[in-house]
Amino acid sequence: MKNSKKHLFGIVFVVKYWKMNKKKNINRIRLDAQYQASRKQGEANEKIPEF
């Protein structure tokens, strides 16, 4: 009984960790996309100097 409880806690911990990691990855992908978009915008702004 004690052992199965420990095992269940381990599974819960892994799931929580995985969800946290997934969230981080989504944030990283989103930030990367924003960075790419801003870089494209920056390149466009360089081509058309606004003075």
In the Cβ-directed half-sphere of 13, how many Cα atoms lie within 13 Å?
A: 6
Q: Is the pLDDT of residue 36 over 80?
A: yes
Q: Is the pLDDT of residue 48 over 70?
A: no
Residue 20 placed within a domain: yes
Specify the pLDDT at position 10: 83
Residue 17 placed within a domain: yes
Specify the pLDDT at position 50: 59
Q: Is the pLDDT of residue 45 over 70?
A: no
Give mean pLDDT, residues 32-43.
83
Residue 51 placed within a domain: no
Residue 12 placed within a domain: yes
Residue 15 placed within a domain: yes
Residue 25 sits in which domain range?
1-40
DSSP string, 1-51: -HHHHHHHHHHHHHHHHHHHHHHHHHHHHHHHHHHHHHHHHHHHHHHS---
Residue 49 placed within a domain: no
Structural domain count, the chain = 1
Give mean pLDDT, residues 35-45.
78
Residue 27 placed within a domain: yes
Between the two ends of the chain, the Cα-to-Cα distance in Å is: 74
